[in-house]
Chain A
Amino acid sequence: MFDRVFKAGDDFKKLLKLLGVFIALGFVCYIFQYYRGLGITGLGRDVSWGLYIAQFTFLVGVAASAVMVVLPYYLHNFKAFGRITILGEFLAIGAVSMCLLFIIVDLGMPHRLFNVLRYPTPNSILFWDMVVLNGYLLLNIIIGWNALDAERMGVAPPKWVKPLIYISIPWAVSIHTVTAFLYAGLPGRHFWLTAIMAARFLASAFSSGPALLILLALFIKKRTKFDPGEEAIQALAKIVTYALIISVFFVLLELFTAYYSKVPGHTNHFDYLLFGLHGHAELVPWTWLSNILAVVALVLLINPNTRKQEKTLKIACFATFFSLWIEKGITLVITGFIPNTFEKITRYIPTIPEVFITLGVWAAGFFILAVLYKIAVSIKEEIGA
């Protein structure tokens, strides 16, 4: 099926070349990091996880969101999603690939990566995260590929794929739950030590992921002969709407607990995010940008007229995606370390090589995604779906 990629048009090849340039730049910076050490990043003793782990956290959500198309189609027989399940599954493959790459670029000793397998440690949440992420990647590769192959041949997918699909549904929930547990079980990190973390993660994932999927589907609709279908896009838009409402609600719950109890361990971090703390306000503009984008998205999504118009829906989806990217891909992880365990503030600003490595990994993920989508869409076009 890969042959379709080579037969692709000029525009697609240009896209791959552009992504290739970013991958190459990221790779060069990574080589630099590999030989000099993680010292080339803006990280330090106090803020010891940064951009890489934050991207990882956000993208696990994007990966998990595939379940939002798989579940209605396979459990509720919602036919409209039948056309786009493959897009959801392939998005998951691209997103999990980025997650794994972000973990690898964050390691101080990447060549010792397999120690996690050589010395399996079930009491470590990171061990379980490795298990569920790799499992999810494998599940989506097997399911996506077989479903698409069957579609190409005009037959039903092999029977043994069905149980895997059913397994993939709770599995998707598990990847984001386990990722939340990475944070929610650490004593002394008050910002993360909250029982609602996993629920918050899932809510934000189920709005940011489908928002991206809508944008991708609209792009495909515009640029190819395959139409993912108005009904599917509108159904996704409703999912984004409700998930975003729940996500914002969960954040408000956190704010209530912090500011009504006035326990400093809880308010300090939110103060740092929203207003700045002891003269440090590095993340304040980001937080408010995220908040404003969320409000814009909610207004456009809740109003049925703007939700149904492609133009405003697009704006809403961009706003949702970037709002939640800021929340999980920047502020959530970094703020856990600010103030630190001594209640001191150390600021963290990513360095240029760190940003390029991050862009490189994103480009690599989108490269994988572009190739997979090209295959899927070509087949859809061939069979005239």
Chain B
Amino acid sequence: MDEKRRDFLKITGACVLGFSILPVLKVSAKQVTQPPEKRPAYKDHPKALHGKRWAMVVDVKRCQEQNKKGECRKCIEACHTIHNVPTIPSVKEMKWIWKENFEHSFPGTAHEFVPEEFKEGPFILLCNHCSNPPCVRVCPTKATFKRQDGIVMMDLHRCIGCRYCMAGCPFGARSFNWWDPKPYLTQMNYDYPIRRRGVVEKCTFCDERLAEGLLPACVEACPAKALVFGDLEDTASEVRRILSKRLSLRRKFELGTQPNVYYLV
């Protein structure tokens, strides 16, 4: 009797498992047998900017001089307003672009005799859009990925919020939505998505603006023209011209991530 009951339970279990797997099999079978759907052709905006390795050059001196005239936060305000980045004053803060002094921007590089004016900077920090990004390497769902044009992008609909990318990023460029961002937004830009809590976000080099032929918001907002944006693979680009003439620094170059944000000193 007992044996029969066990067999019955085994068969029932197998059936339940089979039926629950069936829909999955059907879906995957469909994908193999049916030809891909014809999608509407996607056309680029006529003015869209294309590049192979987008990069930014930060002219620290210019930024500094602008700040001497009075505290300047134009690039930060422009970016955070356009992208609905909430202002949360705590350890749970969110930022895509921010100011930092020399010592903390380039740990281990600063020494006590660095010129006083240089110590405070400010240095404008943002995602480095590394050519060899550790965040992309560690992401378990490909929610963060490297685009053809060099931009390190986020798929906010795929991110599971494991925050491995935050541990992986040596530049502290990533922010996690610990809370629902909405209550912390003073104004909302309805042309750009507002994130949900539970996902990681960061600077995207304004991919949405490049697609419409506009420069990144921070570059456009800078009154001192201290931020220069361009394609490093394009030999005629402004960024290439500047980098070939002036000495520049990259943050933590020794880690081999090949950051694409350069600081003129």
From the candidates B140, B172, B179, B199, name the one contacting A46 in the complex (CB within 8 A).
B172
Could you tell me if B91 and A37 are in contact, using CB atoms closer than 8 angstroms?
Answer: no
Could you tell me if B198 and A108 are in contact, using CB atoms closer than 8 angstroms?
Answer: yes
Chain A positions within 8 Å of B158 at CB level? 112, 115, 119
The minimal Cβ–Cβ distance linking A14 to chain B, given in whole angstroms, is: 31
Total residues of chain B contacting the partner, CB 8 A: 48
> Which listed segment binds B: A185-193, A211-219, A233-241?
A185-193
Kindly supply a per-residue 1/0 record for chain B positions 195-211, scoring 1 wherever the CB is within 8 Å of any chain A CB and 0 otherwise. Answer: 01111100000000000
Chain A positions within 8 Å of B99 at CB level? none
Kindly supply a per-residue 1/0 record for chain B positions 121-146, scoring 1 wherever the CB is within 8 Å of any chain A CB and 0 otherwise. Answer: 00000000000001001111111000
Chain B positions within 8 Å of A37 at CB level? 177-180, 197-198
Could you tell me if A186 and B167 are in contact, using CB atoms closer than 8 angstroms?
Answer: yes
Task: Specify the chain B residue showing the minimal Cβ separation from A263.
Answer: B108
Name the residue among A112, A123, A126, A344 with the largest chain B CB count within 10 angstroms: A112
Could you tell me if A187 and B255 are in contact, using CB atoms closer than 8 angstroms?
Answer: yes
The minimal Cβ–Cβ distance linking B103 to chain A, given in whole angstroms, is: 8
Asked if B77 is an interface residue, CB under 8 A from chain A, the answer is no
Chain A positions within 8 Å of B64 at CB level? none
Could you tell me if A108 and B161 are in contact, using CB atoms closer than 8 angstroms?
Answer: yes
Chain A positions within 8 Å of B176 at CB level? 38, 45, 48, 108
Could you tell me if A107 and B138 are in contact, using CB atoms closer than 8 angstroms?
Answer: no
A113 to B198, CA, bound (A): 12
A365 to B93, CA, bound (A): 34
> Which listed segment binds B: A20-28, A224-232, A335-343?
A335-343
Residues of A contacting B: mostly: loop
From the candidates B93, B138, B161, name the one contacting A38 in the complex (CB within 8 A).
B161
Asked if B46 is an interface residue, CB under 8 A from chain A, the answer is no
Could you tell me if A187 and B177 are in contact, using CB atoms closer than 8 angstroms?
Answer: no
Are A45 and B164 CB-contacts (below 8 A) given A109-B159, A119-B141, A264-B108?
no
The minimal Cβ–Cβ distance linking A118 to chain B, given in whole angstroms, is: 8
Chain A positions within 8 Å of B197 at CB level? 37-39, 108
A239 to B90, CA, bound (A): 46
A135 to B245, CA, bound (A): 56
Task: Specify the chain A residue showing the minimal Cβ separation from B163.
Answer: A48
Task: Specify the chain B residue showing the minimal Cβ separation from A126.
Answer: B140
Are A43 and B160 CB-contacts (below 8 A) given A37-B198, A336-B167, A342-B104?
no
In the complex, besides A37-B179, A124-B164, A341-B172, 12 extra interface pairs with C-beta distance below 8 angstroms are A39-B179, A39-B197, A44-B93, A45-B166, A45-B172, A107-B160, A108-B162, A108-B163, A109-B161, A113-B160, A121-B139, A346-B91
Q: Show the binding face of B for A, using Cβ within 8 Å.
A: 90-94, 100, 103-105, 107-108, 134, 137-143, 158-164, 166-172, 175-180, 196-200, 252, 255-257
